[in-house]
Amino acid sequence: MLAVLLGGGWYLTQSTAARTYTPTGPGDVYLALGDSLAAGFIVDQPEDAYVARIATALQQQRSIEVRNLAIPGETSGSFLRRQLPQALAFIQEQRAAGKRVSPITIDIGGNDARAVESASNEERRHVMATIEANLASALDQLIDATSTRLGQPTADIAIMTYYNPYPGDPTDESSPAYWSDQLNAAIVRVAVARGVAVAHVAEPFAGGNVYRYTYIAAGDVHANSDGHRLIAEQFVQALGYEP
């Protein structure tokens, strides 16, 4: 275990050695966490949002409840302060009621990165490090909350990488593409170190596809209905569930 100083306090994080993700399967409740994407911001119909699409896929396998705690505008810091405590309390409540929460899907960190798009490279590097530390703390707490006393996991947790809506050279620090890659690398590092599944959303959105799957042509970075469908597919694939 490693100790990380964050927000004035020390948090224990798991070691960075890679762990294998092994699905336990859907439980009684599907819990969605994240920002405006998870909240289904700017989709034509509520059922088009990726969380709703995942829920539909899960319900084809078994009866499952859905709880979406996502908050538009959420950052990794505000996630730790408000959404995560709600999620942990909900998981505890469900466990007390004899219900298993699984899967848990997460998208978080994109708003942190967008807030410093015009900042210096030094400040952006600091924000990336903060995102990584916040995600590590959040995942550690979710894993602990969904593990048995013997440390066996009872929930499948998956986190997504972010698509990059802007063009650029991923090797150039002055390019948005570079910082998008840095954000996604941080997400993957903390997930893989903890055996958390990664929904590789960035890849199918790459290149000209971002114009097909988002509203970026109109100046909005959010995914459209087709983009949400693709995000849902990447989550289901990452979780290892049958389509």
Q: What is the pLDDT along the chain (243 residues), one digit of tens a residue?
A: 333 333 333 333 444 457 889 999 999 999 999 999 999 988 889 999 999 999 999 999 899 999 999 999 999 999 999 999 999 999 999 999 999 999 999 999 999 999 998 999 999 999 999 999 999 999 999 999 999 999 999 999 999 999 998 878 889 998 889 999 999 999 999 999 999 999 999 999 998 898 999 988 888 899 999 999 999 999 999 999 876
φ and ψ at residue 94, rounded to 5 degrees: -65, -40
Tell me, what's the pLDDT at 243? 60
In the chain, the domains with their CATH numbers are 2-239 (3.40.50.1110)
Handedness of CA 215, 159, 129, 9 (dihedral sign): positive
Tell me, what's the pLDDT at 17? 58
Tell me, what's the pLDDT at 209? 92
Q: Contact 28/99 with Cβ under 8 angstroms? A: yes
The SS3 assignment for 31 reads: strand
Q: 84-103 pLDDT, tens per residue?
A: 999 999 999 999 999 999 99
Q: Contact 54/65 with Cβ under 8 angstroms? A: no
Handedness of CA 14, 196, 228, 118 (dihedral sign): positive
d(CA 33, CA 85): 11
3-state secondary structure 65-95: EEEECCCCCCCHHHHHHHHHHHHHHHHHHHH
Tell me, what's the pLDDT at 138? 98
Burial 36-71 (b: 16+ CB within 10 A, else e): bbbbbebbeeeebbbbbbbbebbeeeeebeebbbbb
| Angle at which helices 84-96 and 121-145 cross, to 10° | 10
**Residue 118 C-alpha from the chain's centroid:** 24
- Among candidate residues 51, 47, 49, 46, the one with its CA nearest the CA of residue 223: 49
What is the pTM for the complete model shown?
0.90
Alpha-helical runs (H) found in 117-219: 121-145, 176-192, 202-205, 209-213
Tokens of 38: 């998870």
